[in-house]
Structures are given as structure tokens and as C-alpha cells.
Amino acid sequence: MKVLAIDTSSEHCSCALAIGGQVRQRIELAGQRHSQLVLPMVQSLLAEAGLTLGALDGVAVAVGPGAFTGLRIGTAVAQGLAFGAGLPVRAVGSLEAIAWGVGRARVLVCTDARMGEVYWAAFEQRAGLPTAVSGPAVQPPATLPPPPAGEWCGAGNGWRVHAEALEAAVGGAVGARLADAVVEARHVAALAMAACPEGFTDAPEALVPVYVRDKVALTVAER
């Protein structure tokens, strides 16, 4: 399979081109520059591989949860590229991609959701894929429920931004903390291909952001 993968769900922007067992990736701390970076990254990867978009087998994209604007950019770009080239797509959860990249049997992923909250989900490896056993959800870190029994690894920047609150809530259940683990397009590509070894089948219009949180900002009284 030849797959293009895109992630704009966090402060990083990344794109990857997976061709069989070889993966090329571009990743950069983007801030608010995702819309400026993503298409040049795609063009650079295709040029380096000597391929056109139409020569690919599909497009994978991280659909959330994450930054609202970033999710819209990622899904829109993936849809546009797939529509234009007549390619199928595959949506991948952002937290799931982090769990895949960590490669542990049990991973409690927590990422900073701003507004004093975290996006989180607990994943166990089942049939070679990270499977959510609780979450995804968004809530204050101090209110996280302990994960199911077992040895867990914590991953995601929530373990750095909200370290004290998470430690108080679930610290006893979590061993190693990998606070620098982020969504990477290469993991989005690998997870999408592992989940769909016979190829992607979804149409581009099936891509929608998974916000998890419905509330965008605090009210004046809450601030």
C-alpha cells in the first residue's frame, strides 16, 4: 500500500508517506501555522518519492480529539486531496495514534485540552491494535477515573501540563510517563494500514472531526 497520512490535531503539524515498509515524514512545531505547512509537506514528500497523488492507495488523517481549528484543517485537506485524486480515506483517532506510537500493552493517553481539562482514553493492545477500554472523554484531570486493573503507561503532554492533578487522580495505577509523546503522521499511517490491511474503503465525505468537547470557550463568568 502507498498511503499519505496527515495530522494537524495538536501544536505539531506532520505528514507522512508510507510505501510498503518505508515511511517518510515531515513534522514541525507549527503553533497556528498548520494551514501554511501541511500542503508544502505533502508536495515535498510526493516529489521526494517521485509519485503523484493519484498513484497512492489512500489518505489517512487524525480526526481528533484535539485543537478545533487544526482538526478542521486536517479533515478538509484530506478530503480535498482524496476527492481530487479519487482516493479512499481512513480516519484515525488522535489519542489512538499516540497509543500506537508508544507501543505498550496498556496506555493511558492524556493530552492538554486547555480550559483546565484533558482529553483522555485508556487503550489496551488487542489483536495487534490499540483498543479503547475507557474514553475518549474530556474532563478536569483531577476527576479522571482510575484505569482498569493492570500495569499502565501514561502518554501525552497532559502528563506534563497537569502532572500534579493526574498524579493525585490515577498516579498509583500508572508506571512510566511519556509526556513527550505526540501524534505523528507516521503513526497515523501505520495504524490505518494495520486496521485496514486490504486497503481503505471509506469515501472522503465520511471524514468528520471528532471534537469530544462541545464547548469552545469559557463564559465571562467562568473566566
pLDDT at 21: 85
Looking at residue 215, its pLDDT comes to 60
- Per the CB < 8 A criterion, the answer to whether 92 and 60 are in contact is yes
C-alpha cell of residue 50: 517521485
The predicted structure's pLDDT at residue 214? 74
CATH architecture assigned to 2-93+183-206: 2-Layer Sandwich (3.30)
CB 183 within 8 A of CB 62: yes
Maximum Cα interatomic distance, the chain, rounded to a whole number of Å: 55
CATH topology of domain 95-178: Nucleotidyltransferase; domain 5 (3.30.420)
Q: What is the predicted pLDDT for the residue at 216? A: 55
pLDDT number for residue 221: 58
Parts of the chain belonging to CATH 3.30.420.40: 2-93+183-206, 95-178
Q: What pLDDT, on a 0 to 100 scale, did the predictor assign at position 101?
A: 98
What confidence score (pLDDT) does residue 87 get?
98
**Between β-strands 2-7 and 58-62, what pairing exists: parallel, antiparallel or unpaired?**
parallel
Question: Which pLDDT belongs to residue 145?
Answer: 95
Residues of the chain with pLDDT under 50: 220, 222-223
